[in-house]
Amino acid sequence: MSQSTNLPGFWSRLSLAFGAFFKTLGDAGFAARVRDDGIGPVAAPTPAPTAAPTPAPTMAPTAAPTPAPLRVATPESALQLLGLLQREARLVDFANENITVYSDADIGAAARVVHEGCARVLREHFTIAPVRNELEGARVTLPEGFDAASVRLTGNVVGKAPFSGTLNHRGWRAMDVRLPQLAEKHDASIVAPAEVEL
């Protein structure tokens, strides 16, 4: 089976992107792992057994490097964004709906509403630009010292940079975020209020 058939489709990538976005906002440890290795949580490798080392002359101890402080992610911004996506695109309603009982045509019509609403939220509250300017499918070369946080290597990754490969996805970078200010006592956990018709 070719590698292209194993790549996730648009809707799978959209679902993964939302899941990773909210997990990054709500879980500082996960965000640190994504920042540090670009691929999320990875189990630490088990060290191979080694022979007992030959004693060396005692040297003066050196101070251990100070780990970079982690920023604490608060859920308010994620909840605010989720509220905007619900209001404009009914995203929470769509995700919680049992779509197995609907026809593909009905699902497609609903997906169009969700797509239009999500696009509206992105346009109004974010400035998003591609990480890479080349067209998808183009051949690219990554030099030594490339930014591993903005480019993830996939496939048969061996050796060291420079790497040459095919650009499967241009990536996205948020250049600006314009979320509305919240009132002091606003409860961001209410993503959508219940509606009672009188």
pLDDT digits (tens, 9 = 90+) for 108-153: 999 999 999 999 999 999 999 999 999 999 999 999 999 999 999 9
- Count CB-CB contacts under 10 A for residue 85: 23
pTM above 0.85, yes or no: no
Whose structure tokens read 């314009």? 178
Give yes or no for residue 154 having a pLDDT over 60.
Answer: yes
Residue of 51 and 44 predicted with greater confidence: 51
pLDDT level of residue 2 (50, 70, 90 thresholds): very low
SS3 state at 57: coil
Question: What tokens were used for 142?
Answer: 């990554």
Dihedral over alpha carbons 141, 146, 149, 150 (to 10 degrees): -40
Mean of all residue pLDDT scores within the chain? 81
pLDDT for 71-119, tens place per residue?
Answer: 777 788 899 999 999 999 999 999 999 999 999 999 999 999 999 999 9
CA 74 and chain centroid, separation = 17
- DSSP run (H or E) holding 177: strand 172-177
**Does the pLDDT at position 1 exceed 60?**
no
Residue 47 is predicted with a pLDDT of 57
| Tens-place pLDDT, residues 12-50 | 565 666 666 666 666 667 666 766 665 444 445 555 566
pLDDT, residue 195, reads 94
Residue 71: strand, helix, or coil: coil
